[in-house]
A and B are shown apart, each in its own frame.
Chain A
Amino acid sequence: MIYFSQILNKKVFTEDNVEVGRLDDLVFLAETTPIITKILVKNERRKILISLDFLIRINQNIYVKKSYEETNLSENELYILRNLLDKQIIDISGSKIVRVNDVVLQKEKNQWYVMGVDVGILGILRRLGLTSLGEKILGILKLRLTSEFLSWGEIQPLELSRGEVKLKKEEKKLKKLRPEDLADYLEQTSLGNIQKVLRLLDEKMAAKVIGDLNINYQIGLFRRMPPKKAASILDLIDSDEVVDILFFLSRKKRQEIIGFLSKEQQKKVNYLLNFHQTGKIGDFLSLEYLAVYSSKTVADIKTLIKKETADFYSLNYVYVINEIRQLIGVFSLHELLLQDDTNFVYKFMNQNLITVYLTTPIEIALRKMIKYKLSALPVIDKDKKILGIITIDDLSGKLYEKLF
């Protein structure tokens, strides 16, 4: 994770150390996945737009292949400095919220992304090169600033092309740093990077973020973490989730971590762990669900429901997936009916998902349904891809057994 302000004006060299100029701007795709596509390099004579394919690395300086070619701006591409930085952020009702103080960039495999925008005072201090001074002064005043940022998931990419940084929600519904969105972005990065970001957050927030991470990353993180530290974070996560995570760890590590948990959490977790032998989700998995893309409109969904779900036994929720079938959201039929026909799914879908895995014990799935008052839960695999659903109707037999 780096900040745009940290690389702006850095020198750009070719691999044999010939200076090309200084970094003047970055170009990104104004879409759901905001990939950085080009860099703008400026020298005394002119400005050169180079595709990111030629980028070798970014560290003290930026290096590009000497065989770089110039290119032009394509459709849907915007500049960070010219179109995003310092711009006014408004919420969906048009109220001004704050300005874009800095832009957070993120690397995954060989791609760079815009992860989100910094909206805090720390962002301003960083731009001014006063971070350490600012922290000293705040230290004297016994205040601590935390980074505040909005993830890309909050911003409407379409509006950005029209010159407005517009959010998908109203300000009061907005938590400046939404753990689940942060988790989404962290998943595009290495474990080392996740750890780095998590260290910046306070424990409570870190716990929330970890709770929302893909199970693969959760396992990876807890495998690396010393048991004591792992326990301190797991103490803050819902016991249902803790069990989900613990099941993927080795028996030895599991026992070590449980040993460090707080008394109360330990009791809950041990209780839930006992259900492990009682049966698996797979036996109840149903394929009677509807999964749609977030770019569809309400009218599209209504047509889809008529076309595809006519022979379903019941339909309570519609699940939202991305291009690679990863589950990214959900909404109920009630929520659907409340929307205008022209509204887009991504604008109203619920991103805070309650999910289960094939390994999740039935009892825990039932507990989640009752706790969150849901009549069905999506079952996902390690990569967050949706496998099917389980419904309370199918599980009612189990429920009956438990009660009597």
Chain B
Amino acid sequence: MKNFFNKLKWRFLFFLSVLGPGIITAVADNDAGGVATYTVAAAMYGMASQFLIIPETLILAVTQEIGARIAIVTKKGLGDLIRERYGVGLSLLIFVLYFITNQGVVLQNVSGLKAAFQLFNLHWQLFLILTCLLLIFFVTVFNYKKLQRLFLIMVIFYISYIMSAVLVKPNWLEAVRESFVWPTKVNLFDLTFWFSRIAVLGTTITAWGQFFVHSYIIDKKLDVRHLKYERFEVYLGAFLTNFFSWMMSVAVAYTLFIHGIKVNDGYTAALAIKPFAGEMAFLFFAVGLFAASILGLTIVPLATAYVFAEIFGYEGSLDASFSKGKLFYGFFIIQILIGLLVALFPQTSLFKLTLYVDFLNGAMLPIIFYFLVKFAEDEKIMGKYVISGFSRLLVRGSTIVIFLLVILTFFGKILGLT
């Protein structure tokens, strides 16, 4: 018995050594743009906006896991592999698309941060500039380990969504039934509901998320011994992120949806919650938005910088000094500064922007998954860790589902249904 606990203790410690990439990437998928999408959908459709959350979590877990697996086995980033397999032309094209998409996501997060400061009644211009500079400072000066701690602290802040969900006193049983079993409060033949549901999925499974989990694992220098534990960590991350977004939806559904109030973004949602659930719930919601924006604002430009360094072969590690990783840190800084500058001009329409960003992200996903499947099934790359049997089926299945959803969304956009 003592032996058993001892073994368990060691396993747990080993697990702690891999902790980070899966959870941070998955939770960062719930960035400011994510919060906006969830709240708008939850205000429209209630807990039905979280219908099919279980298969969604599964798809996220499976897709993130292939990235993690390829990263651990090959010790090469997705950018590395694409450049080495497909040459400079295609990799450059992908990088340009990727840079633009991520710049859009960065903008969403800067404006999310702006909204959070406005909710706290702070001088938002000043705080926005200060926060951005502070982030740049942390990322360039801190090493991997310290930064990861910072990220994990930000993840803990997401608990505030659970708090605010509890404070609105929801009907838990009904929430579970609506989302896990069968929604009763929406018309399932309503196409716009389904598009909104796909949009929710789209903020969770992202192009940058796929690249980031890959690069971040390599930067953590995990090896094949960690494979089993890392897989579990990725699954845990997928669960956590959807757990948080579910709670967020609960908070919105049992205040705004039941009272029939529509909102446009996280900011208006937080304000609208106040009269129904009180000051505390509002504050928790605002803190959640703040943490989401900070996490997104750091992770997404980092994801860009990693891929740049991978494709063009420059030093790209959080452990590298600034002088060694000039271009790596340079890309991180540029994306934040562009985001900051645009957000400081109040007339920019972020609503339109979100639409384009989603569109680009959607366009990139099939390409990325094509590569992921291709690499994961290539024995030359993966050796004995090549995916086969059931997991191969799962990966291919998830990829096909995502392909179909992306095509559906494009049709929806063309027909003006979203």
Contact = CB atoms under 8 A, between A and B. Distances in A.
A187 interface: no
Interface in B110-132: none
B330 interface: no
Interface string A62-99: 00000000000000000000000111110000011111
A88 B87 contact: no
B385 to A, nearest CB: 17
B87 A96 contact: no
B92 A124 contact: yes
Contacts of A87: 84
**Best-buried of A88, A96, A97, A128 by chain B (most CB within 10 Å):** A96
Contact of B87 (A86, A89, A95): A86
B248 to A, nearest CB: 39
B83 A86 contact: yes
A99 B87 CA distance: 11
Contact of B312 (A85, A95, A99, A128): A99
Contacts of B313: 88-89, 96-99
B89 A128 contact: yes
B145 interface: no
A95 B83 CA distance: 18
A101 B92 CA distance: 12
A176 interface: no
Given A86-B83, A88-B80, A96 B315 contact: yes
A98 B312 contact: yes
A46 B89 CA distance: 25
Interface string A317-329: 0000000000000
Contacts of A280: none
A386 B89 CA distance: 47
Contacts of B89: 127-128
Contact of B309 (A89, A96, A124, A127): A96
Interface string B72-108: 0000000010011001110010000000000000000
A83 to B, nearest CB: 10
Given A86-B83, A88-B80, A124 B315 contact: no
A280 to B, nearest CB: 51
Interface magnitude class on chain B: 10 to 19
Nearest to B311: A99
Contacts, number: 37
Interface in B308-323: 309, 311-316, 320
Report whether over half of chain A's contact residues are helix, strand or loop; otherwise say mixed: mixed
A128 B95 CA distance: 14
Contacts of A99: 83, 311-313
B316 A128 contact: no
Nearest to A123: B88
Interface string A91-128: 00001111101000000000000000000000010011
Interface in A126-142: 127-128
B324 interface: yes
Contact of B88 (A88, A89, A96, A101): A101
B278 to A, nearest CB: 53
B39 to A, nearest CB: 42
B76 to A, nearest CB: 8
Contacts of A97: 313-315
Contacts of B311: 99
A128 B92 contact: yes
Contacts of A89: 313
A89 B314 CA distance: 9
A290 B311 CA distance: 46
Contacts of A98: 312-314
Given A95-B324, A96-B309, A124 B314 contact: no
Contacts of A88: 80, 84, 313
Interface in B142-156: none
B316 A96 contact: yes
A128 B80 contact: no
B314 A86 contact: no
A124 to B, nearest CB: 6
Contact of A96 (B83, B84, B92, B314): B314
Nearest to B312: A99
Nearest to B91: A86
Contacts of B309: 96
A128 B87 CA distance: 10
Contacts of A96: 309, 313-316
Contacts of B87: 85-86, 127
Contacts of B312: 98-99
B315 A128 contact: no
Contacts of B92: 124, 128
A98 B309 CA distance: 9
A127 B314 contact: no
Contacts of A101: 88
A219 to B, nearest CB: 40
A260 to B, nearest CB: 43
A21 B12 CA distance: 59
Interface string B336-369: 0000000000000000000000000000000000
Nearest to A87: B84
A339 B83 CA distance: 37
A86 B316 contact: no
Contacts of B84: 86-88
A157 to B, nearest CB: 20
Given A96-B309, A99-B83, A86 B315 contact: no
A280 B313 CA distance: 52
Nearest to B85: A86
A86 B88 contact: yes
Nearest to A126: B88
A103 to B, nearest CB: 13
Nearest to B86: A86
Nearest to B83: A86
B178 to A, nearest CB: 50
A98 B312 CA distance: 6
Given A86-B87, A88-B84, A128-B88, 5 more contacts: A87-B84, A95-B315, A95-B320, A98-B314, A124-B92
29 contacts: A85-B87, A86-B83, A86-B84, A86-B87, A86-B88, A87-B84, A88-B80, A88-B84, A88-B313, A89-B313, A95-B315, A95-B320, A95-B324, A96-B309, A96-B313, A96-B316, A97-B313, A98-B312, A98-B313, A99-B83, A99-B311, A99-B312, A99-B313, A101-B88, A124-B88, A127-B88, A128-B88, A128-B89, A128-B92
Interface of B: 80, 83-84, 87-89, 92, 309, 311-316, 320, 324
Interface of A: 85-89, 95-99, 101, 124, 127-128
